[in-house]
Every structure is written in C-alpha cells, then in structure tokens.
Amino acid sequence: MSGDFLLINEVGPRDGLQNQRMAVGVDDKLRLIQALVAAGVQAIEATSFVSPKAVPQMADADALFPRLPVGPRYSALVPNERGLARALAAGVPEIAVVLSATETMNQRNIRMSLAEAQAECERTLAAARTAQLRTKAYVAVAFECPYEGPVAARQVHALIDAMASAGADTVVIADTIGAAAPKAVDTLLREALSSHGAERLAAHFHDTRGMALANAWVCLEAGIRQLDSSLGGLGGCPFAPGAAGNLATEDLLLLASQSGLSTGIDLPALLQAIELAAELTQQPLGGRSHRWLTRQRAV
C-alpha cells in the first residue's frame, strides 16, 4: 500500500439516517455531528438537499448546514440543479450526485431513464464547478442491481469515465445493496485505476453479505485512500429489505490502524458518538468489532 493517511468519509448523518423510522430533529443531528467532530472525523456527509416529501428525514437540510461546527470537510448530496441551488444558499462547500448504473434502478428510484439521469448529473456537476464547489459523483449499484442482477463492468466503467469527464473531482464506486465480493472489487478497480488513478477514486460499501470490510481491504491494497463508512454501521438499503447497514466506521478505523494508516479519528470518542446515535435512533448499533472495542475501552 502507498500513502499513510486514509480519509474516512462519515456518511452516518445522511446515508445512515435517511431511512430511519425514528425522526431525528435538527438539534439532535447537530449533536451527532458535533460528537463526530470531537472524535476527529475529517470528512462528513452531513445531509442531502432532496425533496422533503421523498425523504422527510432530510427536510431540515437548509436549517442544519449553516449551523455545522467548523473543522471537517463537509459535503451534501444533491439530486439535481434545484437541490444544488438550495445547497449553495446554505453554504455547502462540496456536493455529491448519484447516478445508478442500470436503467431499471434509475426508473424505479428517480423516475428517469439512465440517459436522463446521466444528463442531469452532468448538468449539476457543471453548475457546481462553475460555483467553485468541490464535487463527487457516485456510481450506484456498481456491482449488482436489485432489479437487473449483476451489472456489466463495461457499463460501470463507461459511467465512471462519464462522471470524470463531466468534472467530478472524485468518482465513488458504490456497492449500494452490499452484493460485492473482493474478487469483483479487485477486477473493477484495475481498469478504473488505470484510467483515473487512485487519487480520483473512492468506494462505498454496504455489509449485507458480510463482505464490506474485506472489500475495503482490497481498496486499501490497490491504493485507494478515500472510503465511506457509517458509525456503528448505521443505515441500510431500502432496496434490500432486512439488509445490514453501511460499512461500520469503527471496523474501518480498526483496519486502517492495524494496517499502518492514520485517520485522525480518536476511537474512544467515536464509540461515544455511536452510543449517541443508538440513543437518537433507538436501536442497537455497532460493527463487527464494536463489542470487542467496547470491552477494550472498559479495560
């Protein structure tokens, strides 16, 4: 592996909370983000500027963002130019767009064809760059689609190339339903790395089939130094009922530290943030290493 710093992009406040049944108010979201900042988290996906009717949990994005504490690299998801306008008004410095890799996923999720969704992302990225924002583009369901099954690698590479050409500073390969396995991740990364380099790529994994941490390791060995995760594994996938949540931040942090990579994150403080998230969502949280880490903290 090269490079000794891993940028962990904490997506709990957005991807983790968006589908929770328990409503979390703006003040509590702010408490959670403050706890993450206190733990030394360097990058946080704070919210999304989507339709409040579609995602009620994110309806307070306009009120939340201006109140965020200084320090981390904040980002927000925007679905289109309308969302971008709201993000600009709130002072967002970095936006992310999401493009699903299959026709059916786009039709079911946002009622657009793949071509229409791609054009929308390209317009939004162009407008964001004109406004001098940092930009990310997620290529979702990059390994398997809940409607179409396994996704052809050539299709994913074409979309990665398109988003990079549209000006995305970072292209994030997203295993949206947690279907990827290490060999598939390695195969997909090889061509993407040869075309775009590790500095421009990141990854996002879910743990539906228990492979998220193994997939993260493949990325680290390949030189990827930007990965998404969610504290305590908070979150799930609405397209995979009963699925486990995101790659847990504490698991990724432990992997990084035992692989000689620094993250800037204080583990005991992160465990406190996980406890707060469990309290706010009224559900048990914790990645695969959480019980062991908690016992170690007690000792």
Gap between the Cα atoms of 87 and 79, Å rounded: 11
Strand partners, 97: 137
Give the relative orientation of helices 249-258 and 290-298 as an angle to the nearest 10 degrees.
70
Q: How far apart are the first and last CA of the chain?
A: 32
Residue in 200, 203, 185, 94 with CA at minimum distance from that of residue 140: 203
Catalytic residue among 121, 145, 219, 237: 237
Q: Does the annotation mark 237 as catalytic?
A: yes
Q: Report CA 42 to chain centroid distance, whole Å.
A: 14
**At 260, phi and psi to the nearest 5?**
80, 20
| CB count in 10 Å sphere of residue 229 | 30
Which residue in the block uniquely carries the two structure tokens 């990579």?
A: 261
CA distance 262 to 274: 20
Q: How far apart are CA 95 and CA 24, in angstroms?
A: 22
Sign of the torsion formed by the C-alpha atoms of 56, 47, 281 and 250:
positive
Give me the active site residues, please. 237
